A = this chain, B = another copy of it.
Amino acid sequence: MSQSRIPEKKVICVDMDEVIADALGEHIQRYNREFNEKVTPADLHGRWFWDFVPPERLSTLERYIRSEDFFASLSVMPDSQRVLERLQERYEIYIATAAMEVPTSFTAKFEWLKSHFPFIRPSHIVFCGDKGILRGDFLIDDNPRQLRRFHGEGILFSAPANAYVTGFRRVSNWLDVEKMFLG
Which A residues are closer than 8 A to B by beta carbons? 1-3, 11, 13, 94, 96, 98-101, 103-104, 106-107, 110-111, 121-130, 132-136, 148, 151, 153-154, 167
Complex CA–CA separation, A3 to B151 (angstroms): 12
Complex CA–CA separation, A132 to B124 (angstroms): 10
Majority DSSP secondary structure for residues of A touching B: mixed
Nearest Cβ on chain B to A81's Cβ, whole angstroms = 20
Complex CA–CA separation, A128 to B97 (angstroms): 11
Question: Which residue from chain B places its CB closest to the CB of A152 in the assembled complex?
Answer: B135
Complex CA–CA separation, A124 to B111 (angstroms): 23
Contact B128 A126 (CB under 8 A): yes
- Chain B residues with CB under 8 Å of A124's CB are 129-130, 133
When all copies of this chain in the complex are counted, the total is 2
Contact A130 B135 (CB under 8 A): no
Q: 3 shortest A-B CB distances, which residue pairs?
A: A123-B129, A106-B106, A135-B135
Contact A1 B133 (CB under 8 A): no
Q: Are A122 and B126 CB-contacts (below 8 A) given A1-B167, A106-B107, A107-B107?
A: no
Question: Which residue from chain B places its CB closest to the CB of A153 in the assembled complex?
Answer: B1
Question: Which residue from chain B places its CB closest to the CB of A13 in the assembled complex?
Answer: B133
Contact B148 A1 (CB under 8 A): yes
Name 29 A/B residue pairs within 8 A (Cβ), A-sorted.
A1-B167, A3-B148, A3-B167, A11-B133, A13-B133, A98-B123, A99-B127, A100-B110, A100-B123, A103-B106, A103-B110, A103-B122, A106-B106, A106-B107, A106-B127, A121-B129, A122-B129, A123-B128, A123-B130, A125-B128, A126-B126, A126-B127, A126-B128, A127-B127, A132-B135, A133-B134, A133-B136, A135-B136, A135-B151
